[in-house]
Every structure is written in C-alpha cells, then in structure tokens.
Structure 1
Amino acid sequence: MNKKIVLLVIFSFVMLSVTTVYSQEEKRASDFAPMHQKVDISKYIGKKFRVSAHIRKETFNGNESVTIWTRINLKDSKSGVFNRDMGGIPVSKNWQKYSIEGILENENAQSLSFGLMCTENGDFFFDDFTLEIEETPENWVSIAIQNPGFEKAPEIPEQIWGDTAISKLKFYTASRTTQNPYKGTYALHIKGRGVYGQNDNQGGFIEVNGVKIYHEIYGEGEPLLLLHGAGQSIEAFKNQIDVFAKNYKVIAIDSRGRGRSTDNEQELTYMNQTEDMRLFMEKLNINSAHIVGWSDGGIIGLIMAMKYPEKVKKLVAMGANIHPDGLFPDRLEEHKKTLKRLESQNNPDYKIYIKLYKQLINYPQLQFEELTKIIAPTLIMAGDHDVIEDVHTVKMYQAIPNAYLAILPGETHWLPRDNPTLFNTTTLDFLMKEFKEPKRY
C-alpha cells in the first residue's frame, strides 16, 4: 500500500459524521480537585517565602491524598519552580499545620500561585492559609491573600477562594462548613465521591486465574469492555466512561496488578490477561461484548478476537502492536533501560513495574498472518505521532479482513486522554454504525 492510499483511508474514516460530542456544559471527570490563587511577588525577588495551611481529612480506602503546593510564575508566562512537598508529614483526621518554603531567586519572577489539591474519594478540610515573606532573617511578614480562613461568604457561591475550578468537576464539591473548623467559624470542605476506579457503588471484584479483577459498570445496553494500557487503570478512561455509557453497558476493568486488581506470582503476559478477560466475561454471563482497548488493552482485544471470535462483537484497538518490534526502536530501548534500572534497585514495591516492562520488551509475539482469524469488525486506530510505527499499524489493518484504519493527524499514543472528543466520536461512529466491508486496494 503506498502512502497516498494510506492517507485516503485515514481521512475517509475521520471525516465520517460525528454521532456524539461532549456538551460544553458537562462537568469534567477527574480523579483530583485543585484550587488556587495568585499573588504578585515581583517586589520580593531574592527573599524566602512560606505558604502554610491547617489540613485534616477523613479517609475512605486509603488511596486518597491531599497536599498544598506552590508555583513561581515568570514574566514570560513560563512556570518556574513547582513544589508540593509538605515535609512528608501524613495528613490525618486531626488538624495539623503544613508548610512549604521556597526562595524567589529568579529575577524574572512575577507572581506566586499557591493552592491545594485532593485526589480520589474523601472529605478534605482546610483552614487558616497564610503567605509569608522573610523580610530579614527570622522576621516573617504576612502578605494579604483572599479569604485565608474562609470566613467570608463569596458573592458567587462557586468562587469560595476566587477559583471556580472545582465547580467544573464531576466528582467534587467545595463548600464552607462550620463542622469543626480549626479557627474561627468556617473551614473549607472539599468532598470527593464516585471517582472512577474508586466507586464502590458501581464496582466489585471477580476472581479469575488466581487474581481478583476489579471492575465498575455504568449505563445500559450492549456490553462494552474498556481495557486500559500497561501502567494505567480504570481512571485512564475517565473521559470515555460517561460518553460511552449513554449508549452501552460500560464495563471498565483494572487489569491484573493494576488499580485495585490483585496480582499473583505468574509472569505477566498478554495471553494470561486474555484468559482473565474470557473467564471474567463468563462469570458475568456476558456471551459477547464490544471491546475498546488502548495500548496493551488493544493487544488483549486483538488476541480475544483471534482466540475467541464468538466473544467479540466489534473491536477498537488504539495504539496497539502485535510484536515488540512494532514500537519505535528508541522507545523499545528506553523500556530496556528502565527495566535494568528498576531491577538494580531491588525494591519490592517495583515488582509489578518490572513485570510490566518485561512484558513490553518480550511480548506480544504474534504474526500478521494470525490476524486473519479475526472476524469481528475492527477499527485499528493510532496517532501519526504514536509510539507504534505507522507501517506496523497499517500492516495490522491489512491483515484483518473486516477492518477500518484511522491514523489521526497530529495525534499521539495518548489520544484518548489528550483529545477525548476526537477519540470518542471516532470510536462511537464505528461502534454504532452498520459495518460496511471496506474496499481493499
């Protein structure tokens, strides 16, 4: 296939009509909630600064975290030093003071952004923020900031701290509370509930192959499995779940050893993960499903469609490869260096990462001819700046009898994250329309 024909296939698919788009008014799914304000510090160049706050949290499953942070903004709009190190002090249910210190040493420093960030589900409380400058050694002077103790009711409810970011997020709310403030009458309460990958109301575990697979289910309709990439989890599809759940019963899965799913002593391979998915479907009484797989998830989807064709209705494989040589050589070499570094550190916490990198380097070991076994309508998708060589992607498409090809201009391996609207509309257009056998040149 020459380059002109490849481009024709690419653009003919991309220009298909859009069936679903994001509403600009819909709240954005996120697993973290930030809030910040900014202060001009240009007249304090060369001096030390200190940001402090009193914080407490009420935990759910221990996965949540909370921090304060600072960022020095330069005159050319570029960020300087970013810091969220609170000294390693764990946040508990009791009020405790946390501080971050730094030096305004860059002569181009214009302003200091500072704020807070919470992750996952939980109840997070903040009070008594301060910003100080060290005028002379050990002589700290307070700088005025907005509503430091959250005592003042904002004119616009969403602007509790002059920042509306949290009001635009799906799983978080911010409010002033009189519940056990550190100081004064009010404190800030940020509440996180229903974060993808941590939503017990929609989730559960299925035991297969000696591991427990965590999954969450959203929506109604034909089953649609979401399979994430190597170092990812359910959260990777935070920009897809809501959109797909409008038309399908979305089953988002943490692959073994990732997210909340457990692991065992077996080698990590695409084959045993495929068996995980087959048994998982059987235990949920799913005879067949659509599969949307990203990166490693796409590889698992391809193997599922090859080995168990009756299980796959339609398949979308984004940024997948069938052999390690499908990766650009520099990427594969980078993986080898990372594996060597991880193994040399002899850290038990790196066990799953070592398994993942070994899998990326050694697997899959498929041949293009094997893809001819796939009978399910398949969309092979990639960005033209992907980590997978475009020739490899095209050969995969050529080998599958009922396949469409979409290599998206200007996009990368991270298309579902970086341009979710394009990924979602392209995927849904393929899934929802009647499949027409493509012409082959």
Structure 2
Amino acid sequence: MGEAIDVNGTRMWVERRGRGSDVLLIAGLSDPAEAWQAQLDGLADRYRLIAFDNRGAGRTPLPQGRLSVPLMADDAAALLRALDVPAAHVAGFSGGSLIAQELALRHPGLVRSLVLMSTFARSDAYFRAMTGFWRWMVEAAPSPRAMLEAFFLWVYTPRAHADGTVERMIEEALAFPHQQSVEAFQRQLEAFETHETLDRLREIAVPTLVLAGEMDRATPPRLGREVAEAISGAVFEVLPGEAHQPFQEVPDEFNARVDTFWREVDERG
C-alpha cells in the first residue's frame, strides 16, 4: 500500500514492501513505482524495498521551473531521510540510473551500493537523435495506444512483442489511472538527455554493478561499459538476448543477480 510523503517541497508517492536491508528502487522515464512490481513481489522476503514516483510521473506532481537529474537525486536523498533510512542499496533503471549516479555523487553517505541498469554517463549524437524523435512522437502519435506501440519498439525484445508481454504492458499502462502528461514526459526526457557525469564518476566509491541488455537499442552496452570503466571496481555484465528492460522481461534472472550482489555487499559489511 502506497502513501504520499512530504519530500523536498513536494508530495511524493512511495511504495514500501518487505523487511531486511534497505533497497531504494528508482524508476526511469515516465515510469511510476509500479514499474518495479516484479521486484516488490519477488524480493520483499529478503529486503525492505522502497519504490516511488519521480516528479512528473504517476502521483508525484511536476514542479514549476526546470526539471533536472540533480533535483531528482536530491528528492531521493530527502525521501531516504524522511523514512529514517541511514543508507540503502540503490538500484536505478535507465533514467533512474542517472538519478542513482547523482545520488551517489551528491549524497554518498546514503548509498551502500549501486545497481545501474541500462545506464549512460553522457548522451551522444545517436542518443540525442533518438530522444528528439521521442519528443515529437509523444505529441504526434494519433492515440496513447499508438504512442506506446511506437515507444515500446525501443525498449522491449522481439520476444516480448511475440509472446504477448508488450500487449500486456500496453493494456496495463492505458488502464493506469495516473497518466503522465505530454509536458511531463518531455520535461523528464530533457532532464535525462542533458545528464553528464562521466568526469565525476571516479568519485563514486561504493560497490557498483552495471548491467546492460545485449539487444538494448536505447542504451546499448557500449554506454554501460563506459560507466563501469569510470567507477573504480565496478562490475560490468551484459545480459545475452535482453533489451532495455530485463527487470520486467526476465525478473527472476534480474532478481537473482541483484540479490547475489547485495548479499555480497552485506557480507563485506
């Protein structure tokens, strides 16, 4: 059961589940806390999980003025403090992984470890062309369904399109009662595409696992490798046959991998 909590000057929607070591789950572009449902269900017997709606997604309002990754990282830090969590394992997906990077840089004492899924440290020409297309696509699509059908071509595997997973995701997204506005989508996207941490990632000192999908078109493995090479001691792994969202497509595999990583960190103290 979720609740709205006063965080960093806004009412942020938060879902909490389970018991054990604290884990903060940070969602990506457009996604509410429910994007992590397979982790909230599958890991709650071992961890105290916290998922939330970023500004402009789900039930957390879009702020006035410019939206930025540092602002959303400060939101995540303020949320942990509001919940009396001294430090947490932090997992971020796509845009959420950018927030996780900034959280570790701006509030290092709050982060025990990092899992960065489908991540990058700075955009390149291909990425900017892709997100430029997304920016007008969300306005020009003839219907919300058509927009999702186009957008999901970038983030799910051909397998997921063939086996009905994508159709199920579309139906769930269309039924969700807290739809994101076009403005909120575009402002979140602008924040993510201007992200730049490559020259600062060497400051991150916590254990870090960087995961990339072999078939990811949005954030291909070369971008994740660049992040891992910039963080001392980071482990980089490519998930064969997976695309941008393996935590949803193959949740058992994803959950097992992050569980092993977090257990290793806990054992090392």
Q: TM-score range by the shorter chain?
A: 0.7 to 0.9
Instruction: Sort the Cα spacing of 1:292 and 1:241 in 2 relative to 1 into closer, same or farther, 3 A.
Output: same
Matched, 1:408 2:239: yes
Equivalent position amino acid for 1:350 in 2: V
Matched, 1:236 2:67: no
Aligned partners of 1:299 and 1:322 also within 8 Å: yes
Matched, 1:335 2:166: no
Residue pairs, 1:379-398, within 5 angstroms: 379-386=209-216, 387-398=218-229
Equivalent position amino acid for 2:188 in 1: L
Residue of structure 1 in register with 2:187 after alignment = 355
* Structure 1 position 360, deviation (Å): 3.6
Please point out which of 54, 60, 81 is paired with 1:261: 60
Give SS of 1:224's match.
strand
Aligned partners of 2:18 and 2:44 also within 8 Å: yes
Equivalent position amino acid for 2:68 in 1: T
Matched, 1:424 2:255: yes
Residue pairs, 1:184-203, within 5 angstroms: 202-203=1-2
Distance 2:60 2:51 in 1: 12
Residue pairs, 1:238-387, within 5 angstroms: 238-325=37-124, 328=127, 331-338=130-137, 341=140, 349-361=181-193, 363-366=194-197, 368-386=198-216, 387=218
Residue pairs, 1:114-129, within 5 angstroms: none
Distance 1:204 1:338 in 2: 32
Matched length:
229
Higher helix share: 2
* Structure 1 position 355, deviation (Å): 1.2
Distance 1:222 1:319 in 2: 24
Equivalent position amino acid for 1:351 in 2: E
Give SS of 2:199's match.
helix
Instruction: Sort the Cα spacing of 1:331 and 1:300 in 2 relative to 1 into closer, same or farther, 3 A.
Output: same
Aligned partners of 1:377 and 1:435 also within 8 Å: no
Equivalent position amino acid for 1:375 in 2: A
Instruction: Sort the Cα spacing of 1:355 and 1:402 in 2 relative to 1 into closer, same or farther, 3 A.
Output: same
Distance 1:222 1:326 in 2: 40
* Structure 1 position 415, deviation (Å): 0.8
Distance 2:241 2:86 in 1: 38
Give SS of 1:277's match.
helix
Aligned partners of 1:212 and 1:263 also within 8 Å: no
Aligned partners of 1:321 and 1:327 also within 8 Å: no
Larger radius of gyration: 1
Higher strand share: 1
Instruction: Sort the Cα spacing of 1:393 and 1:327 in 2 relative to 1 into closer, same or farther, 3 A.
Output: farther
Distance 1:434 1:289 in 2: 11
Aligned partners of 1:327 and 1:389 also within 8 Å: no
Distance 1:337 1:360 in 2: 16
Question: Alpha-carbon deviations, 1:340-376, whole Å to 9, x = none?
Answer: 749xxxxx94221221232243x2022x231011011
Instruction: Sort the Cα spacing of 1:248 and 1:398 in 2 relative to 1 into closer, same or farther, 3 A.
Output: same
Give ranges in structure 2 of 5+ residues lacking alignment. 142-179
Instruction: Sort the Cα spacing of 1:435 and 1:401 in 2 relative to 1 into closer, same or farther, 3 A.
Output: farther
Question: Alpha-carbon deviations, 1:280-338, whole Å to 9, x = none?
Answer: 11111111111111111111111111121111011101011122228646523423443
Residue of structure 2 in register with 1:221 after alignment = 20
* Structure 1 position 401, deviation (Å): 0.8
Of the two structures, which has the highest relative contact order with CA contacts closer than 8 Å and spacing of 6 or more? 2
Instruction: Sort the Cα spacing of 1:226 and 1:398 in 2 relative to 1 into closer, same or farther, 3 A.
Output: same
Question: Alpha-carbon deviations, 1:183-212, whole Å to 9, x = none?
Answer: xxxxxxxxxxxxxxxxxxx32222223321
Distance 2:59 2:262 in 1: 29
* Structure 1 position 377, deviation (Å): 0.4
Question: Alpha-carbon deviations, 1:222-273, whole Å to 9, x = none?
Answer: 2111111111111111111122211111111111121111222132211100
Equivalent position amino acid for 2:43 in 1: F
Distance 1:350 1:329 in 2: 18
Instruction: Sort the Cα spacing of 1:436 and 1:247 in 2 relative to 1 into closer, same or farther, 3 A.
Output: closer
Equivalent position amino acid for 2:28 in 1: G
